[in-house]
Structure 1
């Protein structure tokens, strides 16, 4: 993949989020910053905060998005979710693309953090790209069950790239 290439799963996820010009977003596991680039192209007064555990990835992402950082539309932090310095009730949308968040392990503490970060009307978007639809369904079932048990309303959307399946779980705090 070329340095500037944006994976299909990232484009699909950003489209699913329907980013509005004034949105405040948090990306968990920003990697090289491809999603940040797409999101910032849709923002006017809004802002995206992107975190990643890897200093190397954050440096790549900052370099890729230097114009957005300078304009105040993008902010990066090198930190895990539970170590990031993030304001409460600030984010309209929190998202992660191909991050093992809730897929490999069900973490109530991570979900509590996300719940505190979301605005009351906010939503979380979790996208996974397994190689086959059967695996996408299994991931969706596992993650949706966990989120529902933790009092989130969940909608599941399936898609595909030219070589693999996609699943996006959209979750909103219930009640």
Structure 2
């Protein structure tokens, strides 16, 4: 979670949460923050809810069965957005999705798109295509490589919420 770097009170959206493996890693960095997660698979979301039942019971995690294109959140709802191995950002135009993500992120928010391609030679291609798409929607961009992991960060200008570092 070093690349995402959630602050203690951040509101995080995870796209394609699968079975909820990343949620405990995010919660290790949050004290008052929350995680909202979406995934198309009802089976995966049920497993994620079970895995993270304490956070759900405490009202600090919510899991939704829906695709990103079917999700709808209020403007400025999230400080950070995480997607791991969600290919739509580099395999096809993701204009509607990136427009929505920009709207849902608060000023100073960060979009963190990560991939661990099985063939390390594809990392540069993935980063180039994703960075171009993200930059095309008004984000500042930065690409981070850590071993086989490649992350494209979309950075919004502005200050975060009051009380956030």
TM-score by structure 1 length? 0.85
Is this contact kept in 2: 1:40–1:73, CA < 8 A? Answer: no
Give the corresponding residue for 1:166.
Answer: 149
Whole-Å Cα distance in 2 between the matches of residues 21 and 71 of structure 1?
16
- C-alpha distance in 2, partners of 1:174/1:65? 32
Q: CA offset at residue 24 of structure 1?
A: 0.3
Q: Does the CA-based 8 Å contact 2:108-2:157 persist in structure 1? A: no
* CA positional deviation for 1:85: 3.9
Partner of 2:142: 155
Computed over aligned residues only, the root mean square deviation of the Cα atoms, in angstroms, reads 1.4
Q: C-alpha deviations, 1:77-129, integer Å up to 9, x for none?
A: 00111222422211000110001131211211110110110001101000011
> Unaligned regions of 5+ residues in structure 2, if any?
159-165
Deviation at 1:174, TM superposition (A): 5.7
Q: Is the 1:151–1:174 contact (alpha carbons within 8 Å) kept by the matching residues of 2?
A: no
Give the TM-score taking structure 2 as reference length.
0.90
Q: What 5-or-longer segments of structure 1 have no aligned partner? A: 1-13
Using the TM superposition, name which of 55-64 and 41-50 deviates more. Answer: 41-50
Point out 4+ residue stretches in structure 1 off by more than 6 angstroms. none
User: In structure 2, do the counterparts of structure 1 residues 89 and 46 end up closer, same or farther at CA, with 3 Å as the change threshold?
Assistant: same
- CA distance in 2 between counterparts of 1:149 and 1:28 reads 20
Mapping 1:3-152, distance limit 5 Å: 14-152=1-139
Alpha-carbon offset, residue 63 of structure 1: 0.2
Q: How far does residue 150 in structure 1 lie from its aligned partner after superposition?
A: 2.3
Cα distance in 2 between the residues matched to 1:143 and 1:137:
10
* Structure 1 residue 132 displacement after superposition: 3.3
Answer with 126-135 or 55-64: which moved more. 126-135
Once the two structures are superposed, residues 130-173 of structure 1 have per-residue CA deviations (whole angstroms, 9 ceiling, x without a partner) of: 1233210011011111222222211001112xxxx110011113
* Aligned positions, number: 158
Q: CA separation in 2, counterparts of 1:76 and 1:174?
A: 28
Q: Secondary structure at the match of 2:96?
A: helix
Q: Confirm or deny: 8 A CA contact 1:93 1:125 kept in the other structure.
A: yes
